């Protein structure tokens, strides 16, 4: 039987995913080609938020150790972040009128994570590629949230695009240097032996990251296509790599497995949200018309 540390994050994520897919059914039906994948971006972004929000509530004491030591009331901030993530996930998945506000506040929260938690860790140990990857991962998540909040006004769109594009380029280099590690966000997990052509998938993901990141920075007319293709690849990695890793994991590794599933799906959603504000489609916000 699954412990509450596993059950509640998965339950929250699945409910958010199913609810979001139901809410987006009309937009999905109306879209064509890769635009259908872009429609799924907010849902792929919201479901992992619910997972991590529930994890903050069920595993609060462990996660509270990440709170900077100079801040008081570590448990309070852990619960606060958990509830904020769940609230944002509900608003984004159900396409409520508050989705853009939730996304803006979420982007600010991720920026605070980078400034208050990750940068001090990077400064303390600048030679750790994992520290850099985690810091840039959360910067990309901030960019995805800001992309969801963006209107046609250019400054926020540019900031969101840069916040996503720069981590993509860093991750691309990491994939070329270490193709044996599991593709997506380049952390410490090695691709399992049962995966055929392990180095190939790392290099392929690296190439997709490089092309998409460069296209975003240059605001190329192909940026939207490149980002949508990368988001599709990351979603497929969740389905065919990280989900099987979780389902076949032993009990002690289940929590790690759910975090890799959530991280990669959130990364996929981030890239798709960035795709929605890139050239190549009608100028519009990533938030669907019916919630503006």
In angstroms, rounded to a whole number, what is the distance separating the alpha carbons of residues 216 and 165?
Answer: 6
Residue 214 has pLDDT above 60, yes or no: yes
Residue 252 scores a pLDDT above 60: yes
CA atoms within 13 A on the CB side of 152: 6
Q: Is 44 left (phi over 0), alpha (psi -120 to 50) or beta?
A: alpha
Alpha helices in 68-128 (DSSP H): 74-93, 99-113, 119-124
Residue 283 predicted with pLDDT over 90: no
pLDDT band at 279 (very low <50, low <70, confident <90, very high): confident
What tens digit of pLDDT does each residue of 120-172 get?
999 999 999 999 999 999 999 999 999 999 865 678 899 999 999 999 999 99
What's the pLDDT at 292?
38
Q: Has residue 250 got a pLDDT over 70?
A: yes
Question: pTM to 2 decimals?
Answer: 0.93
d(CA 168, CA 56): 27
d(CA 75, CA 63): 9
Distance (Å, rounded) from C-alpha 233 to C-alpha 215?
17
pLDDT of residue 191: 95
Domain definitions of the chain by residue range: 4-291
Could you tell me the sign of the dihedral formed by the alpha carbons of 176, 178, 181, 186, in that order?
Answer: negative
Q: CA separation (Å) from 28 to 36, 90, 247?
A: 5, 19, 29
């Amino acid at each position: 039987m699954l412990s509450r540390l596993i059950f509640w994050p998965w339950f929250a994520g699945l409910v958010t995913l199913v609810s979001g897919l139901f809410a987006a059914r009309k937009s999905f039906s109306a879209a064509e080609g890769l635009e259908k994948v872009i429609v799924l971006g907010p849902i792929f972004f919201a479901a992992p938020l619910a997972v991590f929000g529930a994890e903050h509530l069920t595993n609060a004491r462990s996660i509270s150790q990440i709170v900077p030591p100079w801040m008081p009331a570590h448990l309070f901030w852990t619960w606060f972040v958990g509830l904020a993530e769940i609230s944002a996930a509900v608003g984004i998945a159900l396409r409520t009128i508050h989705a853009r506000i939730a996304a803006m506040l979420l982007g600010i929260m991720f920026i605070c994570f980078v400034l208050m938690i990750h940068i001090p860790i990077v400064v303390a140990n600048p030679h750790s590629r994992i520290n850099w990857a985690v810091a840039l991962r959360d910067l990309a998540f901030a960019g995805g949230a800001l992309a969801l909040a963006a209107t046609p006004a250019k400054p926020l769109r540019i900031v969101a695009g840069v916040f996503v594009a720069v981590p993509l380029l860093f991750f691309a280099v990491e994939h070329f240097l270490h193709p044996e590690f599991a593709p997506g966000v380049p952390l410490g997990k090695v691709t399992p032996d049962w995966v055929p052509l392990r180095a190939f998938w790392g290099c392929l993901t690296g190439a997709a990251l490089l092309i998409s990141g460069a296209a975003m920075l240059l605001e190329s007319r192909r940026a939207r296509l490149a980002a949508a293709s990368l988001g599709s690849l990351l979603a497929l990695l969740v389905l065919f790599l990280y989900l099987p890793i979780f389902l076949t994991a032993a009990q002690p590794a289940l929590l790690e497995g759910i975090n890799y599933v959530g991280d990669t799906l959130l990364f996929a959603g981030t890239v798709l949200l960035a795709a929605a504000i890139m050239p190549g489609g009608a100028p519009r916000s990533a938030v669907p018309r019916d919630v503006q």
